[in-house]
Amino acid sequence: MHQEPQGARQPLSFSDSPVQTPGNSEVKRIALVACNGVYGGNLMTCRDILFGTRWRAERVPGPHLEFEVISADGEDVISYSGARISCDGSMDERDWDVIILPHVWAEPEQLAQHSASITPWLRRFLDNGTLIVTMGCGVFWAAEGGYLDGAEATTYWRQHDAFVKRFPEVHWQKDKVITESGHICCVAGGNAFADVMLNLVVRLFGESVARGIGRDILFDIRRSYEFTPLRLGSRHTHGDRMIEQVQALLESRYSEEIRLADVARDHGMSLRNFARRFYAATGEKPLAYLQRIRLEAARDLLLHSDKSIKHIALDVGYTDSSYFCRLFRSQLGNTPAAYRRQFTEQTSP
């Protein structure tokens, strides 16, 4: 297996008509769960992002998107502010690739009133490893089923203490706006939710689609928190616990010097066997996996910071900024400077 060269820290426009290619046959399906009391702004922002994503995904090669706002019986729901929200379908037996549980403005006792309809339906997806994204109090139904026991989670700050009392086995993180535990991603704030949605778009539909959504909808988001790359869409439910440990190590220490030969040795494997086992579990080679994490972090810094290219290269694990720029261009189609310029030019007044 190839190591990164010396000097590296080892370890979007679109046409007016859809591009019709054989690769467009795959469809990703996302469900937005709605109930009375749902926070309409959160739900509709998510819907708008998905609507824009669907439009753009139809015009480039790759997967298409189908999404629906669903309620228990398919009937309309009344939002926190009293607005009527139309639903597209019900919680039936259909399969979904992603389930999104928006914020609901309610006390735990009120949330529990929806459990009879939501919890049994959700359990199948929690059991089979479907990606679940919760916003604010939407985490209630994942916690209620015990799926977050012993794991980190976060929620709307006003309900933090109440959730701690109701679900004491969950490791509630009041100071974190995003947590990931297996295939459950919990979000506590609106800007952080936008970040998660954009990461989801990147993972499912690629950089080109995500850049367009960033320009059209999320261009004015400014963070008040530290953001780290998410694992959304990564294969963490393959069952190989040792490889899951390696994935967690790479994701948490990507900015450090990492030698894959050392990682293999520390886990009792030769480099060759480690590479084979990692690929069998994740579908990616270890080096490609590490590079992808680093480039995702770099892409994010380019769009949300004023740091120099050299500084960003160091921040994501590369001491050689020239190698970093070549790798970035080979993987994402643009140099780091052009990538940043393309975004800023198309969001300027």
The mean pLDDT value for 174-193 works out to 89
Confidence at residue 349, expressed as pLDDT on a 0 to 100 scale: 42
pLDDT in tens, 269-300: 999 999 999 999 888 899 999 999 899 889 88
Residue 15, pLDDT score: 28
Q: Degrees (nearest 5) of the Cα angle 131, 209, 154?
A: 35
Of the listed ranges 34-48, 144-158, 203-217, 320-334, the one predicted with least confidence: 203-217
- pLDDT (average), residues 24-40: 90
Confidence (pLDDT) at 19: 33
Query: pLDDT, tens digit, for every residue of 49-101?
Result: 999 999 999 988 889 999 999 999 999 999 999 999 999 999 999 999 999 99
The DSSP call for residue 73 is S
Domains, the chain, with CATH or none: 26-216 (3.40.50.880), 241-347 (1.10.10.60)
What pLDDT, on the 0 to 100 scale, is given for residue 343?
65
Asked which of 120-129, 262-271, 302-311 is least confident by mean pLDDT, the reply is: 302-311
The neighbouring-strand residues paired with 85 are 77
Nearest CA among 279, 278, 244 for reference residue 264: 278
- Would you say residue 235 has pLDDT above 70? no
Give the pairing of strands 89-90 and 64-71: parallel
Angle between helices 190-205 and 207-216 (to 10 degrees): 150
Q: 327 pLDDT exceeds 50?
A: yes
* C-alpha–C-alpha distance, residues 148 and 182, integer Å: 9
Q: What is the DSSP letter of 77?
A: E
Q: Where do runs of H (alpha helix) occur along the chain? A: 40-57, 108-112, 115-127, 140-144, 160-166, 190-205, 207-216, 241-252, 260-266, 271-282, 286-304, 309-315, 321-332, 336-347
What pLDDT score was predicted for residue 179?
92
Confidence of residue 24 (pLDDT cuts 50, 70, 90): very low
Q: Token pair of 8, please?
A: 């590296």
Q: For the residues of 89-121, what is the DSSP string, one character each?
A: EES-S---SEEEE--B-S-HHHHHTTHHHHHHH
Proportion of the chain above pLDDT 70, given as a percent: 85
| Count of CB atoms situated within 10 Å of the CB of 19 | 13
From the list 221, 222, 159, the residue with the least C-alpha distance to 186 is 159
DSSP codes, 231-260: -TTS---SS-HHHHHHHHHHHHSTTS---H
Give the whole-angstrom CA distance, residue 90 versus residue 96: 13
Q: 184 by DSSP, 3-state: which?
A: strand
CA distance 227 to 212: 21
Whole-number pLDDT of residue 252:
82
Answer yes or no: are the C-beta atoms of 290 and 258 closer than 8 Å.
yes
* pLDDT attached to residue 291: 93
**pLDDT band, very low/low/confident/very high, at 134 (cuts 50, 70, 90):** very high
Which residues make beta-bridge pairs with 65? 28
